[in-house]
Structure 1
Amino acid sequence: MIITRSPLRISLGGGGTDLPSYYRKHEGFLIAAAIDKYVYITLHDTFQKEIIIKYSNTERVQRLDEIQHPIIKEALKLLNIHSENFELASLADIPAGTGLGSSSSFTCALLKALHTYNKSFVKPDDLAEEACHIEMDLLHEPIGKQDQYISAFGGINCFTFCKNDQVKTKELNISKDTLYNLEDHLLLFFTGYSRSASNVLKEQDDKSKKNDTSMIDNLHFVKELGYKSKTAFEHGDLEEFAHIMNVHWEHKKQRSNAMSNDRINTWYDIGMKNGALGGKLIGAGGGGFLMFYAEDNKKLRKTMAREGLQEVRFRFDFDGSKVVTIS
C-alpha cells in the first residue's frame, strides 16, 4: 500500500502570468503558498488481473488502454507502468473546481505514488514538470504552471516563468512573525460555486495568443503587483499586501465577464465593510473561495456566517508532495 498526498494552494500575487501564452513572450512572476488541505492517492496491488480506479467515478477494467480518466491514463504511460492488477483511489479535503489547484495537486500526488511504485526518486522540480507535461502538453489544458510547482514544492515561493519554459523557484523571504500574522489573518470562505478553471482561463489564453492589448496590459500590471506583494512581505507590511489584493481583484475582474458575479461581488463588499482590509477570489475565477486579509477576524467570521458562507481554516504546508506511508 502506497499513500501519497499533495497540498492545495492559494495565490498571493501575480496570478495569471504563469500561462505560456503570456510568459513565453513577457516572462511571468507570482507568489503562491501551499496550504494544509490535500489530495491523497492510494495505490496497491491486487491478486486478480483487474484495474480498479476510484475517484468521483469508479472504473473496473482489464487493460490499461481501457482506462477513461485522462490524467491517470497519461501518467501510467509516462512512467511506463505495465501492471494490470492494481487498485488506485483518490480522496480530497476540498472539492474540485474551487480555485485551489486541486487538479494539479491530484496529478502531483498521482505521479509521486507511481514513482514510488517504480521505486524511483523524483525531485520536486521534475515532479512539477511531469505534471505540467501531462496537463498542458498531452491534454492541452489552457492552464498555467503555478499549481503544479507549488504543490510539488510546498511552502511559500516566488516563481519566475521564463520565456524558454524554465521555472525559477525561490523561497519567499518572510520573517517568522510576518508568516504567523499572515497565517492568522488570512481567511477563506467558500462561495458555493464550483467551476472549471480551463473554461475560465481559455478566454485569457486566447486573447493573450492574439496579443490583445487590454489583456496583455492587464497581465503586465498584475505581474507588477506580484513584485509589490513580494516587497510588502519582505518588509512585514501586511496592510500594504491587503491593499494590493484589492487592486489585483479589480484588475482580475476585467479579464473576463465570467470572473465574478453579482453574489460574489456583494459578498466581497460586505466582507470589506465588516473586518477585512483586502481580498480577492482565489484561482481562475467564476467561483470557489473568497480570501480576505482580516483586521477583525471575529467580526468577519460572524458576518460571513450570517451570509451562509462556510469558512475553511488552514495553515501553510511546507512539505509539498510527499509519501505518507508505504506498507
Structure 2
Amino acid sequence: MIITRSPLRISLGGGGTDLPSYYHQHEGFLISAAIDKYVYITLHDTFQKEIIIKYSQTEHVQNVKEIQHPIIREALKLLEVKSENFELASLADIPAGTGLGSSSSFTCALLKALHTYNKTFVSPAELAEEACHIEMDLLKEPIGKQDQYISSHGGINCFTFCKDNRVKAEKLNISKETLYNLEDHLLLFFTGYSRSASNVLKEQDDKSKSNDTSMIDNLHFVKELGYRSKKAFESGNLEEFANIMNIHWESKKKRSNAMSNERINKWYDLAMQNGALGGKLIGAGGGGFLMFYAEDNKKLRTTMAREGLQEVRFRFDFDGSKVVTTS
C-alpha cells in the first residue's frame, strides 16, 4: 500500500502571470503558499488481473489505454507503469473546482505515488514539470504552472516564470512573527460556487495570445503588485499586503465578466465593512473561496456565518508532495 498527499494552495500575489501565453513574452512572477488541505492517492497491488480506478467514478479496465480519466491515463503512460493488477483511489479535503489548485495537486500526488511504485526518485522540480507536461502539453489545458510547483515544493515561494520555460523557485524571506500573524489573520470562506478553472482561464489565454492590450496591461499591473506584495511581506507590513490584495481584486475583475457575480461582490463589500482590510477570490475566478486579511477575525467570521458562508480554517504546509506511508 502506497499513500501520498499533495497540498492545495492560495495565491498571495501576481496570480495569472504563470500562463505561457503571458510569460513566454513578458516573464511571470507570483507568490504562492501551500496549505494543510490535501489531495490523497492510494495505490496497491491486487490479485486479480484488472486495473481499478476510484475517484468520483469507478473504472474497471484491463489495460492503461482503456482508462477514461485523462490525467491518470497519461500519468501511467508517461511513467511506463507495466502492472495491470492494481487499485488506485483518490480523495481530497476540499472539492474540485474551488480555486485552490486541486487538479494539479491531484496530478502531483498521483505522480509521487507512481514514482514510489516504480521505485524511482523524483525531485520537487521534476515532479512539477512532469505534472505541467501532462496537464499543459498532453491534455492542452489553458492553465499555468503555479499550482504544480507550489504543490510539489510546499511552503511559501516566489516563482519566476522565464520566457524559455524555466521556473525559478525562491523561498519567501518572511520572519516567523510575520508568518504567524499572516496565518492568524488570513481567513477562507467558501462561496458555494464551483467552476472549471480551464473555462475561466481560456478567455485570458486567448486574449494574451492575440496580444490584447488591455489584458497584457492588466497582467503587467498584477505582476507589479506581486513584487509589491513581496516587499510588504519582507518588511512585515501585512496591512500593506491587505491593501494590495484589494487593489489586485479590483484589477482581476476587469479581466473577464465571468470573474465575479453580484452575490460575490456583495459578500466582498460586506466583509470589507466588517473586519476585513483586504481580500480577493482565490484561483481563476467565478467561484470557489473568498480570502480576506482580517483586522477583526471575530467580527468577520460572525458576518460571513450570518450570510451562510462556510469558513475553512488552515495553516501553511511546508512538506509539499510527499509519501505518507508505504507497506
What TM-score range do you get, normalising by the shorter chain? over 0.9
Q: Which runs of 5+ in 2 are unaligned?
A: none
- Note the C-alpha offset of 1:109: 0.1
> Match of 1:137, as an amino acid?
D
Task: Note the C-alpha offset of 1:11.
Answer: 0.1
> C-alpha offsets along residues 263-298 of structure 1, whole Å, 9 cap, x if unaligned?
000000000000000000000000000000000000
Q: Which residue pairs with 2:8 in the alignment?
A: 8
Structure 1 Cα separation of the partners of residues 280 and 63 of structure 2: 45
Q: How many residues align?
A: 327
Q: Does 1:296 align with 2:296?
A: yes
For 1:254 and 1:5, how far apart are their aligned partners in 2?
A: 35
Partner of 2:205: 205
Mapped pair 1:214 → 2:205:
no
Measure the CA separation in 2 of the matches of 1:121 and 1:100. Answer: 27
Residues of 1 paired with 2:108 and 2:62: CA distance?
Answer: 25
Q: Give runs of aligned pairs for residues 31-50 of structure 1, distance below 5 A.
A: 31-50=31-50
**Where do 1:110-129 residues align within 5 Å?**
110-129=110-129
User: The residue matched to 2:325 in structure 1 has which SS?
Assistant: strand
Deviations 1:61-104 (A, max 9, x none): 11111100000000000000011100000000000000000000
Letter in 1 for 2:47: F
Which residues in structure 2 correspond to 1:61-140 (within 5 Å)?
A: 61-140=61-140
Partner of 1:147: 147
Structure 1 match to 2:317: 317
- Stretches of structure 1 that go unaligned for 5 or more consecutive residues are none
TM superposition shift of 1:143:
0.1
What's the TM-score, normalizing by structure 1? Answer: 1.00
CA distance in 1, matches of 2:162, 2:14: 14
Deviation of 1:181 (Å) = 0.1
Amino acid corresponding to residue 224 of structure 1 in structure 2: E
Superposed, which structure 2 residues align to 1:220-235 within 5 Å? 220-235=220-235
RMSD across aligned positions (CA): 0.3
Q: Deviations over 1:214-240 (max 9, x none)?
A: 000000000000000000000000000
Q: Note the alpha carbon deviations across 1:171-206, whole angstroms, 9 max, x for none.
A: 000000000000000000000000000000000000
Matches of 1:166 and 1:252 in 2, distance apart?
25
Q: Match of 2:307? A: 307
| Aligned pairs (5 A) from 1:232-251 | 232-251=232-251
Structure 2 counterpart of 1:184: 184
CA distance in 2 between partners of 1:47 and 1:302 (Å): 53
CA distance in 2, matches of 1:119, 1:82: 13
Question: TM-score, length-normalised on structure 2?
Answer: 1.00
Give the Cα separation in 2 of the matches to 1:246 and 1:197: 21
Shift of 1:38: 0.1
Tell me, in whole angstroms, the C-alpha distance in 2 between the residues paired with 1:184 and 1:159. Answer: 24
| Correspondence 1:143-182 to 2 at 5 A | 143-182=143-182
Q: Distance in 1 between matches of 2:14 and 2:159?
A: 10
Alignment deviations for residues 32-56 of structure 1 (CA, whole Å, 9 cap, x no partner):
0000000000000000001100000
Identical counterparts, % of pairs: 87
- 2:151 partner amino acid: S
Partners of 1:252 and 1:213 lie apart in 2 by 15
Q: Which residue of 2 aligns with 1:265?
A: 265
Determine the C-alpha separation between the residues in 1 that align with 2:196 and 2:72.
18
Query: Helix, strand or coil for the counterpart of 1:203?
Result: helix
Q: Give the Å deviation of 1:134.
A: 0.1
CA distance in 2, matches of 1:46, 1:185: 47
C-alpha separation between the residues in 2 aligned to 1:93 and 1:63? Answer: 29
Query: SS where residue 211 of structure 1 aligns?
Result: coil
Letter in 2 for 1:207: K
Whichever residue aligns with residue 152 of structure 1, its letter is S
